[in-house]
Structure 1
Amino acid sequence: MAERAGVLSSTAIAVLIAEGGVDAAVPIGTGQIQPASLDLRLGPTAHRVRASFLPGRESVRAKIERLGMHEIDLAPGAVLERGCVYIVPLMESLALAPDVSAHANPKSSTGRLDIFTRLIADEAHEFDRVQPGHRGPLYAEVSPRTFSIVVRAGSRLNQIRFKRGAPGYSEGALERLHAERRLIEGEVARGGFAGGLPLSVDLAGSGGGLVGWKAKRHTDLIDLDQVGRYDPADFWEPIARPSAAGVILNPDDFYILASKESVRIPPDHAAEMVAYDTLVGEFRAHYAGFFDPGFGHDEAGGGGTRAVLEVRSHDVPFMIEDGQTIGRLLFEPLTERPAELYGRGIGSSYQRQGLALAKQFKQPRLDAVATV
């Protein structure tokens, strides 16, 4: 009997590891296994390279030998400078079955710090994608865009999801799932399920007068291991609710905004946010695209949770307006329900979040900054 198609839950990921589908030089800890993904760890050495690349028909190691500039020892902790590109061999490697593929994304805190992080595998023609049956090492491309950061061997910047078969939903099936399970709060426009469930940006201040944060330039380092340490005022400028039509995004500035809709991911599903059609605006939203089962769901104590959006404009200033579509959610069923859902019970940082910065920052009092 064929195994069920779907995204592998934490239970199936544990089996995958036990059977050798995922291996690591340092044993994988249970804390790495999330409800529908596996956290990946940086190895002990980073390679500063001249440019980003895809290996194509080569190995990643061969490309590093051609483009590498110098090595950095991450074991004691090291600085990765903003604007530079690094390739870091990961502790984990894969030996996937012929019917299992994988897909990676930055972790939530990685995206909220504007750390551009992508997975690379040998002979890959795409970032963040691992083909069925792949065997070999994994690498992370790491390029801090706004803040210089401190990382160590074992730091977790990205996560990987495993999938058996092609379990996605058609437009009609997604519409039926939403009608049955109430995936987001709010009305969806007729025909709005094509390409995923749309999310729009909140510039009306649904969570108070504050509608976003704009990253400052030329700040201090951020140590990724420090939780709740940094004062937001040293790194961010608050954006108050605009009196006019919208907010103008400056090219190459980095913004944290929030969705107008609250999201509820059912316990037997996973979701991913994908960029909206670039024909409607030259901006990128949401580096960290994975939503785990239970995110915002009542059963996991979510009560509906807004999505935080990492936004960057390209090339030209661009004005976004309240309610403008900024991304779409794709939903996929799990192979089975995970033993634990996203939420405080497993140390999840962003359940019931509002306009939340990365966990490295002290959480600001929104009423204190709403009038700035």
Structure 2
Amino acid sequence: MTGVLPSQSINDLLAQGVIRCDAQPLEGQVQPASMDLRLGTRAYRVRASFLPGPERSVQECLADLSMHEMDLTPGAILEKGCVYLVPLMEHLALPDGLRAVANAKSSTGRLDLLTRLVTDSGTEFDRVPDAYDGPLYAEICPRSFSVLVRPGMRLNQIRFRRGNALLDDAALAELHAAEGLVDGPAMIDGGLAFSVDLKPTDSTLVGYRAKPHAGVIDLDRIGAYAINDFWQELHSEAGRIILDPGAFYILVSREAVTIPPDYAAEMAPYLALVGEFRVHYAGFFDPGFGHAEAGGAGARGVLEVRCHEAPFVLEHGQVVGRLLYERMEGRPQALYGAGLSSNYQGQGLKLAKQFRM
């Protein structure tokens, strides 16, 4: 079989010991097309981000790069601008033909909390090859805000795949004709293109910019923080904003997106062709996102944007990224937003769940 594994197949991997856990899996940890990964009990402050490279373990690298070890059990602050490595509670013993890819969870990306998966002998972040047998680690670098973390927190997630189920442009056009993947004309070229909304119909508020000297965010505190303490509102009447180098922004797509139940999607990595900025950190879209069958009516894609070396003018309707659609190996038993704790179904411009909206 070929495709992205649904929740019931992930539960089978847990039962078979393909996924091994240091603690009992939590309710809701398995999502429709992915599984949340949990922080372990300790963290290492490291001198720099790294990849082990062929035939080296992460522990061997830590012997050279670790500055000090931290106990997360009572709660620990990961400071803005520092790099940490955290062993995760989950371990893998993948069979031949099954590989995995990881990505930050939505709330993680919206906090500008760069979180990437690292494996032994790894040569790429967030990629787990066929037949990998070993531990998993999260590299965490808070970019805008210092954060308070504890064991068991879920900052990133993993998706399992067999074969190549990626839809080419012709198949994507057929799916759009059948399902209406966006609420307007579909721009299909190497995936489903989406653009930025800088002319909202009922407001001049187009996004938020992270304040440079904000306080600590406890990731367990949901709806606890005032927006103005951490974010500056961005308003535009002309449909244009200028991105400043080094600044972090939360914007929203002009298109309302739908992910049909038998498909999953991922936001494509940043391409220099669209401008001098990175478009996203959290890239997984689960089956049912924005879909009527899961109680949705299309949902905007939130854009986590960081500008690079030069100021950049962003215009309303400018294409800023693409969604890549894949077939599921089977339909998940539960869809995103359908009886699940789905924080962003039907979303528009929305900050992470820790803020009072």
Same fold (TM over 0.5): yes
Q: Indicate which of 259, 264, 271 corresponds to 1:277.
A: 271
Match of 1:250 in 2: 244
Instruction: Indicate the SS of the match to 1:40.
Output: strand
1:235 and 2:233 are equivalent in the alignment: no
Instruction: Indicate the SS of the match to 2:67.
Output: strand
| Contact 1:197–1:330 (8 Å) recurs in 2 | yes
AA at the equivalent of 1:73: D
Match of 1:155 in 2: 153
| Contact 1:205–1:241 (8 Å) recurs in 2 | no
1:180 and 2:178 are equivalent in the alignment: yes
Match of 1:136 in 2: 134
Instruction: Check 1:333–1:95 CA distance in 2 against 1; reply closer, same or farther (3 A cut).
Output: same
Q: Could you state the TM-score of these two structures normalised by the residue count of structure 1?
A: 0.94
1:334 and 2:328 are equivalent in the alignment: yes
Q: Could you state the TM-score of these two structures normalised by the residue count of structure 2?
A: 0.98
Match of 2:79 in 1: 81
Instruction: Check 1:120–1:207 CA distance in 2 against 1; reply closer, same or farther (3 A cut).
Output: farther
Q: How does 1:166-315 map to 2 (within 5 A)?
A: 166-188=164-186, 192-206=187-201, 208-243=203-238, 246-315=240-309
Match of 1:117 in 2: 115
* CA positional deviation for 1:54: 0.6
| Contact 1:262–1:304 (8 Å) recurs in 2 | yes
Match of 2:340 in 1: 346
* CA positional deviation for 1:344: 5.7
Which deviates further from its counterpart, 33-42 or 268-277?
268-277
Which deviates further from its counterpart, 176-185 or 257-266?
176-185
Match of 1:13 in 2: 10
AA at the equivalent of 1:330: L
* CA positional deviation for 1:89: 0.4
Match of 1:164 in 2: 162
Q: 1:198-247 CA deviation, whole Å, 9 max, x = no partner? A: 0100001146321100110111100000000000011111111233x511
Instruction: Indicate the SS of the match to 2:293.
Output: helix
Q: Indicate which of 49, 54, 62 corresponds to 2:51.
A: 54
Q: How does 1:28-107 map to 2 (within 5 A)?
A: 28-57=25-54, 58-107=56-105
Aligned length: 356
Q: Structure 1 CA distance, aligned partners of 2:257 and 2:273?
A: 25
Instruction: Check 1:220–1:332 CA distance in 2 against 1; reply closer, same or farther (3 A cut).
Output: same
Instruction: Indicate the SS of the match to 2:158.
Output: strand
| Contact 1:272–1:331 (8 Å) recurs in 2 | yes
| Contact 2:112–2:142 (8 Å) recurs in 1 | yes
Q: Structure 2 CA distance, aligned partners of 1:266 and 1:335?
A: 13
| Contact 1:276–1:328 (8 Å) recurs in 2 | no
Q: Structure 2 CA distance, aligned partners of 1:146 and 1:18?
A: 39
Instruction: Indicate the SS of the match to 1:177.
Output: helix
Instruction: Check 1:199–1:207 CA distance in 2 against 1; reply closer, same or farther (3 A cut).
Output: farther
* CA positional deviation for 1:193: 2.2
Instruction: Check 1:70–1:78 CA distance in 2 against 1; reply closer, same or farther (3 A cut).
Output: same
Match of 1:22 in 2: 19
Match of 1:146 in 2: 144
Instruction: Indicate the SS of the match to 1:279.
Output: helix
Instruction: Check 1:299–1:130 CA distance in 2 against 1; reply closer, same or farther (3 A cut).
Output: same
Q: 1:16-45 CA deviation, whole Å, 9 max, x = no partner? A: 111111001112123100000000000000
Could you say what the CA RMSD is over the residues aligned between the two structures, in angstroms? 1.0
Q: Structure 1 CA distance, aligned partners of 2:263 and 2:336?
A: 12
Q: Structure 2 CA distance, aligned partners of 1:210 and 1:98?
A: 50
AA at the equivalent of 1:26: A
Instruction: Indicate the SS of the match to 2:28.
Output: helix
Q: Structure 1 CA distance, aligned partners of 2:274 and 2:114?
A: 23
* CA positional deviation for 1:171: 1.6
| Contact 2:274–2:320 (8 Å) recurs in 1 | no
* CA positional deviation for 1:137: 0.2
* CA positional deviation for 1:157: 0.4
Q: Structure 2 CA distance, aligned partners of 1:239 and 1:207?
A: 15
Match of 1:369 in 2: none
AA at the equivalent of 2:353: K
Tell me the percent identity: 56
Gaps of 5+ in 2: none
* CA positional deviation for 1:351: 0.6
